[in-house]
Amino acid sequence: MTSSNIRPASDYPPGGDAFRHRHLIGIAQLTPWEISYVLDAAEEWVDLNRSGAAKHDDRLAGLTIINAFFENSTRTLLSFEIAGKRLGADVVNMHAAQSSVKKGETLIDTAMTLNAMRADAIVIRHGSSGAVQLIADKVDCPVLNAGDGRHEHPTQALLDALTMLGNEVRIVAPPTLTPPAIDRMHVTTFTDMDEGIRDADVVMMLRLQNERMDGAYLPSAREYHALYGLTPKRLEKAKPDAIVMHPGPMNRGVEIDSSVADDPLRSTITEQVEMGVAVRMACLDILTRRKRGVAGWN
Protein backbone atom coordinates (compact mmCIF):
# COMPACT_ATOMS: atom_id res chain seq x y z
CA MET A 1 0.00 0.00 0.00
CA THR A 2 1.46 3.35 -1.01
CA SER A 3 1.42 6.37 1.28
CA SER A 4 -1.14 8.06 -0.99
CA ASN A 5 -3.58 5.21 -0.28
CA ILE A 6 -3.27 5.34 3.50
CA ARG A 7 -6.21 6.97 5.24
CA PRO A 8 -7.13 7.43 8.89
CA ALA A 9 -9.05 4.56 10.46
CA SER A 10 -12.01 6.88 11.03
CA ASP A 11 -12.14 7.87 7.34
CA TYR A 12 -13.40 4.89 5.37
CA PRO A 13 -14.59 5.01 1.76
CA PRO A 14 -18.28 4.76 0.84
CA GLY A 15 -20.27 1.66 -0.04
CA GLY A 16 -18.59 -1.65 -0.65
CA ASP A 17 -15.13 -0.06 -0.70
CA ALA A 18 -15.44 0.36 3.07
CA PHE A 19 -15.05 -3.42 3.39
CA ARG A 20 -13.76 -5.04 0.22
CA HIS A 21 -13.42 -8.64 1.38
CA ARG A 22 -15.74 -11.47 0.42
CA HIS A 23 -14.80 -13.49 3.51
CA LEU A 24 -13.59 -12.75 7.01
CA ILE A 25 -10.74 -15.21 7.51
CA GLY A 26 -8.38 -13.11 9.60
CA ILE A 27 -7.46 -9.67 10.83
CA ALA A 28 -4.05 -9.26 9.19
CA GLN A 29 -5.47 -8.58 5.72
CA LEU A 30 -7.84 -5.85 6.92
CA THR A 31 -6.96 -2.17 6.58
CA PRO A 32 -7.35 0.13 9.60
CA TRP A 33 -10.46 1.69 8.09
CA GLU A 34 -12.04 -1.73 7.43
CA ILE A 35 -11.55 -2.64 11.09
CA SER A 36 -12.96 0.73 12.10
CA TYR A 37 -15.93 0.23 9.78
CA VAL A 38 -16.83 -3.10 11.38
CA LEU A 39 -16.39 -1.73 14.91
CA ASP A 40 -18.53 1.33 14.17
CA ALA A 41 -21.27 -0.92 12.78
CA ALA A 42 -20.99 -3.21 15.82
CA GLU A 43 -21.27 -0.25 18.18
CA GLU A 44 -24.62 0.60 16.62
CA TRP A 45 -25.78 -2.99 17.22
CA VAL A 46 -24.72 -2.71 20.86
CA ASP A 47 -27.09 0.21 21.32
CA LEU A 48 -29.90 -1.50 19.40
CA ASN A 49 -29.46 -4.74 21.34
CA ARG A 50 -29.60 -2.90 24.65
CA SER A 51 -32.74 -1.04 23.63
CA GLY A 52 -34.43 -4.19 22.33
CA ALA A 53 -34.85 -2.66 18.87
CA ALA A 54 -32.53 -5.21 17.23
CA LYS A 55 -35.05 -7.98 17.88
CA HIS A 56 -37.33 -6.35 15.33
CA ASP A 57 -34.70 -6.14 12.58
CA ASP A 58 -35.13 -8.66 9.76
CA ARG A 59 -32.59 -7.51 7.19
CA LEU A 60 -31.34 -11.08 6.71
CA ALA A 61 -34.83 -12.55 6.39
CA GLY A 62 -34.87 -15.28 3.73
CA LEU A 63 -31.14 -15.95 4.04
CA THR A 64 -29.70 -19.20 5.39
CA ILE A 65 -26.60 -19.23 7.58
CA ILE A 66 -24.80 -22.48 8.40
CA ASN A 67 -22.69 -22.61 11.56
CA ALA A 68 -20.33 -25.50 10.78
CA PHE A 69 -18.40 -26.28 13.96
CA PHE A 70 -15.90 -29.11 13.55
CA GLU A 71 -14.55 -28.23 16.99
CA ASN A 72 -16.69 -27.61 20.04
CA SER A 73 -17.04 -24.02 21.21
CA THR A 74 -20.38 -23.46 22.86
CA ARG A 75 -19.86 -19.78 23.57
CA THR A 76 -18.86 -18.83 20.02
CA LEU A 77 -21.54 -21.02 18.43
CA LEU A 78 -24.26 -19.56 20.62
CA SER A 79 -23.09 -16.03 19.89
CA PHE A 80 -23.20 -16.56 16.12
CA GLU A 81 -26.58 -18.27 16.37
CA ILE A 82 -28.08 -15.38 18.33
CA ALA A 83 -26.51 -12.88 15.94
CA GLY A 84 -27.98 -14.57 12.88
CA LYS A 85 -31.43 -15.03 14.36
CA ARG A 86 -31.53 -11.49 15.69
CA LEU A 87 -31.05 -10.33 12.08
CA GLY A 88 -33.90 -12.54 10.89
CA ALA A 89 -31.85 -15.25 9.15
CA ASP A 90 -32.56 -18.97 9.16
CA VAL A 91 -29.68 -20.46 11.17
CA VAL A 92 -28.60 -24.10 10.94
CA ASN A 93 -25.99 -25.47 13.35
CA MET A 94 -23.79 -28.36 12.26
CA HIS A 95 -21.96 -29.85 15.23
CA ALA A 96 -18.68 -31.74 14.96
CA ALA A 97 -20.18 -34.89 16.49
CA GLN A 98 -22.78 -34.93 13.71
CA SER A 99 -20.30 -34.21 10.93
CA SER A 100 -19.44 -36.69 8.22
CA VAL A 101 -15.82 -35.71 8.79
CA LYS A 102 -16.01 -38.04 11.78
CA LYS A 103 -16.82 -40.82 9.31
CA GLY A 104 -13.75 -40.17 7.18
CA GLU A 105 -15.04 -37.52 4.77
CA THR A 106 -12.30 -35.15 3.63
CA LEU A 107 -12.45 -31.44 4.31
CA ILE A 108 -12.77 -30.72 0.59
CA ASP A 109 -15.72 -33.13 0.36
CA THR A 110 -17.32 -31.33 3.27
CA ALA A 111 -16.75 -27.97 1.57
CA MET A 112 -18.41 -29.24 -1.60
CA THR A 113 -21.33 -30.58 0.43
CA LEU A 114 -21.79 -27.27 2.23
CA ASN A 115 -21.60 -25.41 -1.08
CA ALA A 116 -24.28 -27.66 -2.60
CA MET A 117 -26.64 -26.62 0.19
CA ARG A 118 -26.62 -23.08 -1.24
CA ALA A 119 -26.16 -21.31 2.08
CA ASP A 120 -25.91 -17.53 1.99
CA ALA A 121 -23.09 -17.47 4.57
CA ILE A 122 -21.11 -20.12 6.41
CA VAL A 123 -19.49 -19.71 9.83
CA ILE A 124 -16.71 -22.26 10.37
CA ARG A 125 -14.85 -23.41 13.45
CA HIS A 126 -12.10 -25.96 12.90
CA GLY A 127 -9.18 -27.28 14.90
CA SER A 128 -6.70 -27.15 12.01
CA SER A 129 -4.97 -23.94 10.99
CA GLY A 130 -5.84 -23.03 7.42
CA ALA A 131 -8.93 -25.23 7.24
CA VAL A 132 -11.33 -22.29 7.02
CA GLN A 133 -9.41 -20.75 4.12
CA LEU A 134 -9.48 -24.10 2.31
CA ILE A 135 -13.26 -24.27 2.61
CA ALA A 136 -13.65 -20.60 1.67
CA ASP A 137 -11.79 -21.28 -1.58
CA LYS A 138 -14.34 -23.99 -2.48
CA VAL A 139 -17.67 -22.32 -1.72
CA ASP A 140 -19.70 -19.61 -3.42
CA CYS A 141 -20.83 -17.68 -0.34
CA PRO A 142 -19.12 -15.57 2.34
CA VAL A 143 -17.23 -17.51 5.00
CA LEU A 144 -16.54 -16.28 8.53
CA ASN A 145 -13.73 -17.80 10.53
CA ALA A 146 -14.90 -18.70 14.04
CA GLY A 147 -11.45 -19.99 14.96
CA ASP A 148 -9.10 -22.31 13.10
CA GLY A 149 -6.67 -24.00 15.42
CA ARG A 150 -3.63 -21.92 16.30
CA HIS A 151 -4.26 -19.52 13.44
CA GLU A 152 -6.89 -16.80 13.93
CA HIS A 153 -10.21 -16.02 15.57
CA PRO A 154 -11.02 -12.66 13.93
CA THR A 155 -14.37 -11.91 15.54
CA GLN A 156 -12.80 -12.53 18.96
CA ALA A 157 -10.13 -9.95 18.12
CA LEU A 158 -12.80 -7.49 16.98
CA LEU A 159 -14.99 -7.94 20.04
CA ASP A 160 -11.96 -7.50 22.30
CA ALA A 161 -11.11 -4.28 20.45
CA LEU A 162 -14.71 -3.11 20.86
CA THR A 163 -14.52 -3.76 24.60
CA MET A 164 -11.26 -1.80 24.94
CA LEU A 165 -8.88 0.05 22.58
CA GLY A 166 -5.23 0.50 23.58
CA ASN A 167 -1.91 1.65 22.23
CA GLU A 168 0.82 -0.36 23.89
CA VAL A 169 0.34 -4.11 23.92
CA ARG A 170 2.29 -6.36 26.26
CA ILE A 171 2.52 -10.14 26.09
CA VAL A 172 3.21 -12.07 29.29
CA ALA A 173 3.89 -15.79 28.97
CA PRO A 174 6.38 -18.49 29.83
CA PRO A 175 8.98 -18.96 27.08
CA THR A 176 7.39 -22.25 26.02
CA LEU A 177 4.10 -20.51 25.18
CA THR A 178 5.55 -17.39 23.54
CA PRO A 179 5.01 -17.42 19.75
CA PRO A 180 8.29 -17.76 17.84
CA ALA A 181 7.50 -14.73 15.65
CA ILE A 182 6.61 -12.47 18.57
CA ASP A 183 9.42 -10.03 17.71
CA ARG A 184 7.56 -9.13 14.48
CA MET A 185 4.28 -8.31 16.25
CA HIS A 186 5.30 -4.92 17.63
CA VAL A 187 4.54 -5.87 21.22
CA THR A 188 6.56 -5.83 24.43
CA THR A 189 7.16 -9.28 25.87
CA PHE A 190 7.57 -10.34 29.49
CA THR A 191 8.10 -13.64 31.23
CA ASP A 192 7.48 -12.10 34.67
CA MET A 193 3.75 -11.61 35.29
CA ASP A 194 4.16 -8.96 37.98
CA GLU A 195 6.37 -6.84 35.75
CA GLY A 196 4.20 -7.39 32.70
CA ILE A 197 0.98 -6.09 34.24
CA ARG A 198 2.55 -3.24 36.23
CA ASP A 199 0.54 -0.03 35.65
CA ALA A 200 -1.53 -1.70 32.92
CA ASP A 201 -4.96 -0.30 32.02
CA VAL A 202 -6.31 -3.66 30.83
CA VAL A 203 -5.32 -7.17 31.87
CA MET A 204 -6.59 -9.81 29.48
CA MET A 205 -6.13 -13.39 30.61
CA LEU A 206 -6.16 -16.24 28.10
CA ARG A 207 -7.31 -19.80 28.65
CA LEU A 208 -4.74 -22.54 28.71
CA GLN A 209 -5.85 -24.54 25.69
CA ASN A 210 -4.94 -27.98 26.92
CA GLU A 211 -6.48 -29.56 23.83
CA ARG A 212 -3.74 -27.95 21.72
CA MET A 213 -0.87 -28.95 24.02
CA ASP A 214 1.09 -32.16 24.16
CA GLY A 215 2.04 -31.84 27.83
CA ALA A 216 5.52 -30.44 27.25
CA TYR A 217 4.68 -26.76 27.60
CA LEU A 218 4.08 -26.49 31.36
CA PRO A 219 5.13 -28.50 34.41
CA SER A 220 1.65 -28.26 35.96
CA ALA A 221 -1.47 -26.12 36.17
CA ARG A 222 -0.60 -25.37 39.81
CA GLU A 223 2.79 -23.96 38.90
CA TYR A 224 1.26 -21.94 36.06
CA HIS A 225 -1.21 -20.40 38.49
CA ALA A 226 1.56 -19.56 40.93
CA LEU A 227 3.60 -17.79 38.26
CA TYR A 228 0.99 -16.41 35.87
CA GLY A 229 -2.45 -16.67 37.48
CA LEU A 230 -4.34 -13.42 38.02
CA THR A 231 -5.05 -13.11 41.74
CA PRO A 232 -6.36 -10.07 43.64
CA LYS A 233 -2.87 -9.43 45.01
CA ARG A 234 -1.29 -9.62 41.57
CA LEU A 235 -3.95 -7.34 40.11
CA GLU A 236 -2.79 -4.65 42.53
CA LYS A 237 0.28 -4.24 40.28
CA ALA A 238 -1.97 -2.84 37.53
CA LYS A 239 -3.61 0.57 37.66
CA PRO A 240 -6.30 0.97 40.33
CA ASP A 241 -9.01 1.27 37.68
CA ALA A 242 -7.64 -1.43 35.36
CA ILE A 243 -10.23 -3.71 33.82
CA VAL A 244 -9.96 -7.49 33.54
CA MET A 245 -10.86 -9.40 30.39
CA HIS A 246 -11.04 -13.07 29.38
CA PRO A 247 -12.38 -14.52 26.10
CA GLY A 248 -13.77 -17.59 27.89
CA PRO A 249 -14.31 -20.28 28.77
CA MET A 250 -12.26 -19.76 31.92
CA ASN A 251 -10.11 -22.19 33.84
CA ARG A 252 -10.92 -20.79 37.26
CA GLY A 253 -8.06 -21.21 39.67
CA VAL A 254 -5.57 -21.66 36.84
CA GLU A 255 -5.20 -18.49 34.78
CA ILE A 256 -7.64 -16.45 36.86
CA ASP A 257 -9.11 -16.51 40.37
CA SER A 258 -12.89 -16.54 40.70
CA SER A 259 -12.78 -13.47 42.93
CA VAL A 260 -11.15 -11.52 40.09
CA ALA A 261 -13.33 -12.94 37.32
CA ASP A 262 -16.50 -12.10 39.23
CA ASP A 263 -15.42 -8.64 40.48
CA PRO A 264 -18.25 -6.34 39.31
CA LEU A 265 -15.98 -3.28 39.43
CA ARG A 266 -13.06 -4.68 37.45
CA SER A 267 -14.25 -7.57 35.30
CA THR A 268 -15.64 -6.89 31.80
CA ILE A 269 -15.91 -10.56 30.87
CA THR A 270 -19.69 -10.51 30.46
CA GLU A 271 -19.39 -7.28 28.47
CA GLN A 272 -17.09 -9.12 26.07
CA VAL A 273 -19.89 -11.64 25.50
CA GLU A 274 -22.28 -8.78 24.75
CA MET A 275 -19.78 -7.21 22.35
CA GLY A 276 -19.37 -10.60 20.66
CA VAL A 277 -23.02 -10.74 19.60
CA ALA A 278 -22.87 -7.18 18.25
CA VAL A 279 -19.63 -7.78 16.32
CA ARG A 280 -20.99 -10.97 14.77
CA MET A 281 -24.21 -9.22 13.80
CA ALA A 282 -22.14 -6.52 12.10
CA CYS A 283 -20.01 -9.10 10.26
CA LEU A 284 -22.99 -11.11 9.04
CA ASP A 285 -24.72 -7.93 7.89
CA ILE A 286 -21.66 -6.55 6.07
CA LEU A 287 -20.64 -9.81 4.35
CA THR A 288 -24.14 -10.46 2.97
CA ARG A 289 -24.78 -6.98 1.60
CA ARG A 290 -23.71 -7.88 -1.94
CA LYS A 291 -25.97 -10.93 -1.86
CA ARG A 292 -28.85 -8.73 -0.71
CA GLY A 293 -28.16 -6.08 -3.35
CA VAL A 294 -27.63 -3.28 -0.84
CA ALA A 295 -27.04 0.01 -2.67
CA GLY A 296 -23.35 0.69 -3.26
CA TRP A 297 -22.32 -2.93 -2.53
CA ASN A 298 -22.79 -4.47 -5.97
Given 56, 103, 184, 186, the catalytic residue: 103
Measured distance CA(193)–CA(235) in Å, rounded: 10
Given 21, 59, 75, 207, the catalytic residue: 75
* 75 carries an active-site annotation: yes
* 153 carries an active-site annotation: yes
Measured distance CA(275)–CA(72) in Å, rounded: 21
* 56 carries an active-site annotation: no
Given 31, 76, 155, 268, the catalytic residue: 76
Given 23, 126, 153, 266, the catalytic residue: 153
Given 23, 86, 125, 289, the catalytic residue: 125
**Cβ(259)–Cβ(27) under 8 Å?**
no
* 292 carries an active-site annotation: no
Residues in the chain: 298
267 forms beta bridges with 244
For the chain, helix, strand, coil in percent to 5 are 45, 15, 45
Measured distance CA(280)–CA(49) in Å, rounded: 12
Measured distance CA(194)–CA(231) in Å, rounded: 11
* 118 carries an active-site annotation: no
Sequence-ordered alpha helix ranges (H) in the chain = 32-51, 74-86, 107-116, 131-136, 154-163, 193-196, 221-228, 232-235, 258-261, 269-287, 289-292
Provide the annotated active-site residues: 75-76, 103, 125, 153
